[in-house]
A and B are shown apart, each in its own frame.
Chain A
């Protein structure tokens, strides 16, 4: 069990550029979550997948954000036309859904995005 990994750990970009982040979950986990955390706040839910199906998207996820999990393993989060307000830590979590109430989410180290 190598844990949840995220790449890159840090990303600095200029306003208007596109960025893509990757998350590799714990290998047998079928659920994958994306959260965003701004300074001084708790993580806020963005979207989540069960296997390759995207089950829910938060209202925080504007049209500039898109997430995929094409083969039910790793996931990517893309932000198009970045804005300074997108600067945040983007956290990925995975879990194994094996029955009611069994979901415990394990978090990766996060990707810190800075938009200049």
Chain B
């Protein structure tokens, strides 16, 4: 069964600092991977997705993620944090065929300190 582990339930960074949110997946074959963001009392918004076309994926709001098969990781980064980035971030996986329900990690809450 597919699973996703997000290391760190809460990450705090200063405004302007690097954001790094960690995600590791377990899968027998390289899957499709997603990062979603959730603001308070809202649904999930897609940040970016990996579908095997390129290992470095650029998303919205300056975020990007790199797929590393050898490390089974798909960490999310942003060079410079803004106050508006404070939210809950979820990593999710679906099998290599895609087109199936997503399996989510437990999420990482990002706080940005002025």
- A-side residues, CB < 8 A to B, are 4, 6, 31, 33, 35, 40-45, 48, 56, 58, 91, 93, 97, 100-110, 112
Name which of B14-22, B60-68, B96-104 contacts chain A.
B96-104
Would A103 and B44 be within 8 Å (CB), given that A41-B106, A42-B105, A43-B104 are in contact? Answer: no
A100 lies within 8 A of B98 (CB): yes
Tell whether B84 is near chain A: CB-to-CB under 8 Å: no
| Residues of B close to A109: CB separation below 8 A | 41-43
Query: Known contacts A41-B107, A100-B98; can you find 14 more A-B pairs with CB under 8 A?
Result: A4-B43, A33-B102, A35-B102, A40-B106, A41-B106, A42-B90, A43-B90, A43-B104, A56-B101, A93-B44, A101-B98, A101-B99, A103-B98, A105-B102
For chain B, what secondary structure do more than half of its interface residues adopt (helix, strand, loop), or is it mixed? loop
Report which of A43, A44, A97 forms a contact with B99, defined as CB distance below 8 A.
A97
Report which of B34, B44, B51, B99 forms a contact with A91, defined as CB distance below 8 A.
B44
Q: Return A96 CB to nearest CB of chain B, in Å.
A: 10
Tell whether B46 is near chain A: CB-to-CB under 8 Å: yes
A100 lies within 8 A of B99 (CB): yes
B43 lies within 8 A of A108 (CB): yes
